[in-house]
Amino acid sequence: MILNQKKPQTTQRTLRMFFLAICAISAVPPFVAAQTSKTRAHVETLASPRLEGRLAGSNGEKLASDYVVSELKQIGARPLPGQTGYVLPFEFTAGTKDGGSSMSLRYDTRNGVDSGVVFGVATGNATGPVRALSFSDNGDVDAPLVFAGYGIVVPDSQGFAYDSYATLDVKDKIVVVLRYFPEDAEPKTKAILARYADLRYKAMAARQHGAKAMIVVTGPASPNAGELAPMTFDTAIAGSGIVAVTVTGDVAAKIFPADKPLAAAQKALDDANPHAAGFALPGVTASVHAAVERERRTGHNVVAYLPAAGAVPAVGKPWVALGAHFDHLGHGEAGNTLAGKEDAGKIHVGADDNASGSAAVLAIAATLAKQPHARNILVGFWSGEELGLIGSSAFSARPAVPLDAIAAYLNFDMVGRMQDNKLTVQATGSSPAWGKIIEQANVRAGFDLAVQDDPYQPTDVATFNAAGIPSLSFFTGTHADYHKPSDTADKIDYEDLDRIVDFAAAIARRLADSPEAPAFTKVDQSLQQGAGRAGVRLFTGTIPDYSSEVKGLLLGGVVGGGPAEQAGLRKGDVIVEIAGQTIANIYDYTYALDVLKIGQPAKVIYVRDGKKLETMLTPAARK
């Protein structure tokens, strides 16, 4: 049992307030109080607007890394063995932009237009009539057109029959689809259709039905009528396996014949009647050119170490690692902001997420640097966590220290907003040693601990767990300022953040001096609750590698005892097809899960060591 001895803080805080008041009255500088916090200066610096939100690959991230390096030097931390500096750069896909997409239309005499007339050759800029979608493949397609309605296919598992392609032959053709979903459907139907209205899902459905390209138009009865669909932020380096562009309403009007205009075609579909169908567009051929430029940027992990006092071969696994991500959302341009319209484009300074965790690691390292320890202590600051754990994944893929030499990893993510003395410690299921270690450290700390076995958290601890390293992740909970510009340094509880530093430093010190490294345990089942995107509690046990640059889904690992492991899948495998659905990237895989059924085996085709292999995976129910 974890001991929960609550620290008598009220008296201490009262005395501190009294002391500050006396200092103010007597004009004596409160130098003792100013020196009390181990973390305030770090948080205030990292969460300064001058760093512009520390988006991975930005100048603000570089300024933050410079600050972290300077602090590491001050405490005597060194570059890792074999490294010339503290910064370990990595490349990643930072988004997409249109590189000059275009489209032309040719008509034959059946439309009353001379053959060979070309309309609307467009540039691909933000104001032009044609723009590529962020997930489009680059290429040229020349083919007849078919209107496929909203382009939505609802899997059978939803108990609602809706297939925009049911009566259409779109093989080797270009499909024209409406953005969004039927506007006049009754609420329950609308909710089902909305799940499958994402443009990536529509692109996958078009590709699965044999189409060579997809043209998206915002219909006259839809929100943002006639506007181009936005080119959203996209970190996937792989395309969707199909050419995909969006066109304005004016361009779309030239596609539809006079007796079947776009407005009438949309109206016929908007009550979501499953029998209402699209139709071929005879006499018109399109030439579509899609040019997507995937912007490559360089992120910067900062990694150093505190050398062991003696000969490290005297202990098993001679490293202990501490880590936190120091990046945040910039101005919210990556698409993961939760800011309202009134705050759109503002700097997201990320004081709790995750200047607090970075400050904790710096403070713990400063504490440990003053004491001898038997193991080397690796101190890591990861970038790109907000874009999908790409910084820690880059380190894991090309480790500057052998991963099997790391005895344990401690992660800190959002540890600055404690409520009611409650500290959550996650990933405790990764080693049977954690219970006793945490309990003993908490005797002095006195937190009300919430212990969670699950190591498959949406933070960098998942990377190290996937590498077979016993791990812990510290977290004080979410709040109303999460991923908003209002997550500012003045809202951090520095006294409790400093207590977390002392608590974690005690754990790290014990790990660094213990003769035996903690044993690693694979957690057999994900304990995360909640339905998937389609409301299905389905569990496959796959752990995607978010930094993948391959065509398909690269596995960063599998959940111990889960369906993927039972099917023989393992880290490094690339899934290219599941249940008949081809997989081009992680998004395709997410959508393909909707066709799976709990307890029903599905064929998985994957690539291992250059060879294409097959297995059967039986999804389980998520606990």
Q: Note the pLDDT of residue 6.
A: 33
Least confident of 14-23, 153-162, 328-337: 14-23
pLDDT of residue 237: 62
Q: Which amino acid is at 256?
A: F
**pLDDT bracket for residue 525 (50, 70, 90):** very low
Query: What is the three-class DSSP state of 93?
Result: strand
Residues 241, 238: Cα–Cα separation, whole Å: 8
pLDDT at 19: 36
End-to-end CA gap in the chain: 24
Q: How confident is the model at residue 539 (pLDDT cuts 50, 70, 90)?
A: confident
Q: What are phi and psi of 253, to 5 degrees?
A: -60, -30
What is the band of 334 on the pLDDT scale with cuts at 50, 70, 90? Answer: confident
Q: Which tokens hold the place of 75?
A: 């405490």
Length of the chain equals 623
Residue whose entry in the numeric block shows the structure tokens 């710096």 = 362
Quick: pLDDT tens for 39-94. Answer: 999 999 999 999 999 999 999 999 999 999 999 999 999 999 999 999 999 998 88
The pTM of this model reads 0.74
Task: Tell me the H-state helices in 340-433.
Answer: 357-368, 390-397
What would the DSSP string read from start to end of 603-615? EEEEEETTEEEEE
Q: How many CA atoms lie within 13 A of 352 on its CB side?
A: 25
Q: What is the pLDDT of residues 548-585, one digit of tens each?
A: 667 899 888 888 788 999 999 998 999 999 999 899 88
Number of continuous H segments (helices) and E segments (strands) in the chain: 15, 25
The reply to whether domains 37-90+303-513 and 538-621 share a CATH topology is no
- pLDDT at position 339, please? 87
Percentage of the chain lying above the pLDDT 90 cut: 65
pLDDT tens-digit readout, 263-322: 999 999 999 888 889 999 988 999 999 999 888 899 999 999 999 987 655 677 999 999
- Residue 27, pLDDT > 70, answer no
Encoding tokens for residue 373?
Answer: 């320890």
Looking at residue 157, what is its pLDDT?
A: 67
Element (H, E) at 306: strand 292-306
CATH topology of domain 37-90+303-513: Aminopeptidase (3.40.630)
User: Minimal CA–CA distance to 489: which of 42, 44, 38?
Assistant: 44
Q: Is there a contact between 58 and 52 (Cβ–Cβ < 8 Å)? A: yes
Query: Alpha carbon 421 to chain centroid distance?
Result: 29
CA neighbor of 330 nearest in space, from 251, 405, 233:
233
Least-confidence region, from 157-161, 404-408, 410-414: 157-161
CB 355 within 8 A of CB 386: no
- Calpha distance 56→34 (Å, rounded): 32
pLDDT tens digits for range 453-508? 989 888 999 999 989 999 999 999 988 899 999 999 999 999 999 999 999 999 99
Query: Three-state SS for 535?
Result: coil
Predicted local confidence at residue 537, as pLDDT: 55
Measured CA to CA, the distance from residue 438 to residue 425 in angstroms comes to 9
Domain ranges within the chain, ordered by starting residue: 37-90+303-513, 100-290, 538-621
3-state secondary structure of 319: strand
Q: What type of residue sits at position 378?
A: L
Alpha carbon separation from 431 to 115, 170, 465, 512 (Å, rounded): 72, 53, 10, 16
∠ CA 335-423-559, rounded to 5°? 60
If you average pLDDT over every residue of the chain, what do you get?
Answer: 86
Q: Are residues 58 and 348 in contact, defined by beta-carbon separation less than 8 angstroms?
A: no
Query: Closest by alpha carbon to 587, among 101, 97, 133?
Result: 133
- Long-range Cβ contacts of 255-261 (<8 Å, 24+ apart): 255/105, 255/145, 255/176, 255/215, 255/281, 255/284, 255/286, 256/147, 256/281, 257/111, 257/281, 257/283
Instruction: Quote the tokens at residue 444.
Output: 């002095």
- Are 36 and 58 spatial neighbours (Cβ–Cβ below 8 Å)? no
Average pLDDT of the residues in 602-611: 96
pLDDT tens, position by position, 205-233: 999 999 999 999 999 999 899 999 988 77
Q: Does domain 538-621 have CATH number 2.30.42.10?
A: yes
Distance CA 486, CA 364 (A): 27
Please report which residue ranges of 298-433 form alpha helices under DSSP H.
357-368, 390-397
CA 469 – CA 74 distance, rounded (Å): 29
Name the residue with higher pLDDT: 548 or 412.
Answer: 412
The least confident of 203-217, 247-261, 331-345, 472-486 is 331-345
Q: What is the CATH number of domain 100-290?
A: 3.50.30.30
pLDDT band at 13, cuts 50/70/90? very low
CA angle 106, 111, 116 (to 5 degrees): 25
pLDDT in tens, 417-452: 999 999 999 999 999 999 999 999 999 999 999 999
> How many Å apart are CA 218 and CA 224, to the nearest integer?
7
**What DSSP letter does each residue of 564-583 carry, written as one string?**
HHHTT--TT-EEEEETTEE-
* Closest to 620 in 3D by CA, of 593, 606, 595, 600: 600
Residue 405 tokens read as 């030499």
CB 455, CB 540: distance < 8 Å: no
Query: Per-residue pLDDT averaged across 515-522, rounded?
Result: 93
What local confidence, expressed as pLDDT, does residue 61 receive?
A: 98
